[in-house]
Amino acid sequence: MRTIRTLTIAAMAAVTLSGCLKGGGEVVQPQADGQEKAVRITIKRSSQSSGDSGKTRSQGEALGATKPLTFHDGLLLFCRANGYIEKVVTVSTGSGGYASGTVGILALDAGVWITDIPSLATKVCLAGNLAAAGITLNVGNYLTNAEPTVVQQYDATDGGVGKVMLYGEGNLIPATSGPGGIPATSQQFQAIFDVKPVTSRFEIAAITPMPTGGNTLSANVEGIFIDNYYAKTYINVKASQQATYNGGTVPSYTSAYYSTPGVVHDWDSGSSGLTPGSAASPVWSYNVLAPEDGDNPFTIGTIEPLEMPAIIIKVKDVVVNGTPAPGPHFLTITKFFRNVTTPITELVRGEVYNIANIEFEYNHLTPAPYMSSKSAYVEVTMIDWTTVPTNWDF
Domain boundaries, the chain: 6-18+37-55+67-198, 200-385
Q: Is the pLDDT of residue 113 over 50?
A: yes
| Residue 386 pLDDT grade (very low, low, confident, very high; cuts 50, 70, 90) | low
Rounded to two decimals, what is the model's pTM? Answer: 0.81
Short-list 92, 73, 192, 88, CA closest to 145: 88
| Residue 348 pLDDT grade (very low, low, confident, very high; cuts 50, 70, 90) | confident
* pLDDT tens sequence across 282-341: 788 888 888 776 655 555 445 556 778 999 999 999 999 999 999 999 999 988 998 778
| Residue 101 pLDDT grade (very low, low, confident, very high; cuts 50, 70, 90) | very high
Q: Is the pLDDT of residue 363 over 80?
A: yes
Please give the CATH number for the structural domain made up of 200-385: 2.60.40
Exposure string for 326-349, b = 16+ CB within 10 A, e = fewer: ebbbbbbbbbbeeeeeeebebbbb
Alpha-carbon distances of 98 from 28, 202, 337, 388, 392, rounded to whole Å: 29, 39, 46, 19, 22
Alpha-carbon distances of 105 from 87, 112, 164, 390, rounded to whole Å: 17, 10, 18, 11
Q: Is the pLDDT of residue 19 over 80?
A: no
Alpha-carbon distances of 159 from 113, 236, 300, 353, rounded to whole Å: 36, 24, 33, 17
| Residue 31 pLDDT grade (very low, low, confident, very high; cuts 50, 70, 90) | very low
Residue 166 CB coordination number (10 Å): 25
Most confident of 61-70, 191-200, 383-392: 191-200
pLDDT at 280: 60
pLDDT at 378: 83
pLDDT at 323: 95
Q: Is the pLDDT of residue 21 over 70?
A: no
pLDDT at 305: 65
Short-list 79, 60, 63, 213, CA closest to 143: 79
Same fold, 6-18+37-55+67-198 and 200-385: yes
3-state secondary structure (DSSP) of residue 258? helix
Q: 382 vs 97, which has greater pLDDT?
A: 97
Q: Specify which residues 90 forms β-bridges with.
A: 75, 102
> How many whole angstroms separate alpha carbon 308 and alpha carbon 346?
6
List the Cα angle 136/139/145 in 5-degree steps: 45
> How many whole angstroms separate alpha carbon 359 and alpha carbon 336?
14
pLDDT at 139: 97
* pLDDT tens sequence across 224-268: 999 988 888 889 876 657 788 899 999 999 988 887 666 888 888
CATH class of 6-18+37-55+67-198: mainly beta
> How many whole angstroms separate alpha carbon 331 and alpha carbon 314?
6
pLDDT at 385: 67
